[in-house]
Amino acid sequence: MGFMRLKTHALWLLCLVWLRILAVGQTPTDLRELGQREYLAGHYDQAESYFRTAIGATHLDDAHRAGILSDLGKVLLDEGRLSEAEEAFAKSLAFEKRRGKKQETGSRNRVRKSRTDRTSEPHTPGNG
């Protein structure tokens, strides 16, 4: 009985190492898609590994990072790892809020520029 357990653990370890090797050279988007497939197949360990590897990418924008963290949160929640899931969801929400503020600021700046452009145009009769 102990040998079978050891064999199973060794197989899982090999799978996790193999997943890391497969992840090398993948884009964060590819890794997220692989994680989502594994999650839907019920392979939570593999899904978590893909999501964590994707989050580690340095060139992610806030939208992608928030989405990957949300996906990771779902995996952790389904595994019953509630405090870790809560942390992933909180980080995801923080990135979404920051992203929203950036978009809001960008929109405000465009409105201000538009107003400035309109007020700086010379007013001629018949132009309105």
Domain assignment present for 80: yes
Alpha helices in the chain (DSSP H): 2-23, 28-40, 44-55, 62-78, 82-120
CATH number of the domain within which 77 lies = 1.25.40.10
pLDDT score of 43: 96
pLDDT score of 58: 77
Q: 3-state DSSP call for residue 29?
A: helix
Q: What is the pTM of this model?
A: 0.64
Full residue range of the structural domain in which residue 65 is found? 22-106
Domain assignment present for 43: yes
Domain assignment present for 74: yes
pLDDT score of 108: 58
Domain assignment present for 120: no
- Do the beta carbons of residue 66 and residue 96 sit within 8 Å? yes
Hey, what amino acid is at 2?
A: G
Domain assignment present for 96: yes
Domain assignment present for 16: no
Tokens of 33: 């898609």
Domain assignment present for 40: yes
Q: What is the mean pLDDT of each run of 10 residues along the chain (128 residues)?
A: 62 54 73 96 96 89 94 96 96 90 63 63 57
* Domains: count for the chain: 1
